[in-house]
């Protein structure tokens, strides 16, 4: 076994040998090695988060015809570091009447809820935190901590605008979690497991679930954007109405934790999109060289992250009632219909051979999408005719 074929195993065995050589027991050495692995994963996620600040600003600059950061370091690459220093040294203010314990815990929980998700993400064939057989349930449960942190921040700030922003964001997050959970069940049906590792391995050889359920990938992406609270679903930050949303009273690094959590959460959802529908770490020679698998995973996750940024900086903000109506009247019914169609077609064609199975699932998605568009077109036509119809003359 070499470092290139199983780097985690090689490093773990080396640490165990070193620590037991210092006189530690096997159990103590195992605990320390595991803690070091957790620390390494968190450090990697936070370093990635720093670079996402630069990526986000460069991408939005290109969308808006600007240059973005271009002074500090080559191409402005070091700009996030003075920004972090600025946040750290800014005055830390706690509003009068705020619940200090809850107020200070909210940004920590917000960022922590995102980092918890990385425990189940398979970065490569042999590089992952833990292989849970209920990983998708864990994803939903850990994501609920983010909802909790938002309501904690809004309520504890002693500010009616913060509370209003929190209520609006939590209402949207809870609503859009329903189609998201339904979309998560589609890879579960196709792979026959809730384990992200098994779901990834089921897509070996280019058999991405995106080809089997493109509509499911779109539903997951839309729900993920709404869960993130990014435009066009960012009514928690409707500046013309509620100033800046649930974190209006936060300053310095406390606000920085909310911002870092949002960026890392967006990339994490890009990673989940990669794992669930685009094969995750799979790619040429990824099974033999796990570090190459990490590269494929990050590249696919960045593609998902770019899609999320593309939507954010292109689509305008929508009203809260339109947002919730879009979820309950359109997205949720389509998600349940797709789940039923996928389950039926999967059950009928799973033993019919690879190509009939793939074509059956793909064209069932196309057919459902066409039926949905026709229903929307007919509904829009009826509404337009009702508006254009001549009104009866007023009686005098």
Q: Note whether 294 and 282 are within 8 A (CB).
A: no
Helix boundaries (H) for 318-353: 320-326, 332-349
For 218-250, the DSSP string reads: HHHHHHHHHHHT-TTS-GGG-HHHHTTGGGTT-
- For the chain, the helix, strand and coil percentages under 3-state DSSP, each to the nearest 5: 75, 0, 25
User: Taking Cα atoms as reference points, which of 299, 224, 311 lies closest to residue 266?
Assistant: 224
Is residue 72 packed enough to be buried (19+ CB in 10 Å), middle (13-18) or exposed (0-12)? middle
pLDDT at 271: 92
Can you tell me the distance from the alpha carbon of 142 to that of 264, in angstroms, rounded to the nearest whole number? 14
Q: Which of 311, 63, 231, 225 is nearest to 239 (CA)?
A: 231
CB 365 within 8 Å of CB 213: yes
Q: What local confidence, expressed as pLDDT, does residue 394 receive?
A: 61
DSSP structure class, residue 393: P
- Tokens 């190509």 sit at which residue? 355
| Whole-number pLDDT of residue 237 | 63
Q: Where are the domains of the chain?
A: 90-387
DSSP string, 53-70: HHHHHHHHHHHTT---S-
Contact 168, 235 (CB under 8 A): yes
- Which region, left, alpha or beta, applies to residue 16 given φ > 0 means left and ψ of -120 to 50 means alpha? alpha
Alpha-carbon gap, residue 121 to 302, rounded angstroms: 15
Instruction: Give the span between the Cα atoms of 394 and 111, in whole angstroms.
Output: 60
User: Average pLDDT by consecutive 10-residue portion of the chain (396 residues)?
Assistant: 77 86 86 88 87 89 87 89 89 86 91 88 86 88 86 89 85 88 92 91 90 93 87 68 76 88 89 92 87 92 92 84 88 93 92 89 93 89 82 65
């Amino acid at each position: 076994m070499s470092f290139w074929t199983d780097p985690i195993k090689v490093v773990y065995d080396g640490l165990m040998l070193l620590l037991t050589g210092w006189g530690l027991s096997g159990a103590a050495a195992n605990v320390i090695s595991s803690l070091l692995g957790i620390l390494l994963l968190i450090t990697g996620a936070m370093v990635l988060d720093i670079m996402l600040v630069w990526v986000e600003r460069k991408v939005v600059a290109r969308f808006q015809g600007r240059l973005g950061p271009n002074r500090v370091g080559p191409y402005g690459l070091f700009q996030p570091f003075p920004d972090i220093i600025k946040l750290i040294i800014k005055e830390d203010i706690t509003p009068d009447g705020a619940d200090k314990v809850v107020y200070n815990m909210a940004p920590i929980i917000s960022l922590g809820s995102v980092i918890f998700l990385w425990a189940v993400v398979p970065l490569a064939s042999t590089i992952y935190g833990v292989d849970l057989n209920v990983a998708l349930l864990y994803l939903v449960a850990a994501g609920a901590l983010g909802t909790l942190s938002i309501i904690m921040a809004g309520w504890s700030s002693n500010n009616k605008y913060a509370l209003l922003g929190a209520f609006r964001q939590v209402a949207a997050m809870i609503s859009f979690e329903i189609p998201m959970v339904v979309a998560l069940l589609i890879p579960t049906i196709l792979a026959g497991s809730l384990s992200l590792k098994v779901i990834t391995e089921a897509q070996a050889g280019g058999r991405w679930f995106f080809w089997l359920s493109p509509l499911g990938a779109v539903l997951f992406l839309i729900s993920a954007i709404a869960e993130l609270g990014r435009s066009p679903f960012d009514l928690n930050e409707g500046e013309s109405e509620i100033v800046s949303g649930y974190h209006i009273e936060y300053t310095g690094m406390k606000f920085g934790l909310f911002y870092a959590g949002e960026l890392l959460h967006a990339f994490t959802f890009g990673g989940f999109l990669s794992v669930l529908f685009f094969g995750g770490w799979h790619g040429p020679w990824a099974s033999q060289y796990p570090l190459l698998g990490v590269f494929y995973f990050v590249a696919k996750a960045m593609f998902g992250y770019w899609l999320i940024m593309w939507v954010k900086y292109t689509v305008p903000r929508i009203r809260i009632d339109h947002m919730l109506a879009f979820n309950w009247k359109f997205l949720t019914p389509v998600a349940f219909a797709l789940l039923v169609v996928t389950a039926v077609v999967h059950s009928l064609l799973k033993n019919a051979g690879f190509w009939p199975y793939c074509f059956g699932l793909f064209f069932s998605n196309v057919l459902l999408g066409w039926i949905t568009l026709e229903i929307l077109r007919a509904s829009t036509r009826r509404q337009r005719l009702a508006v254009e119809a001549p009104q009866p003359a007023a009686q005098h």
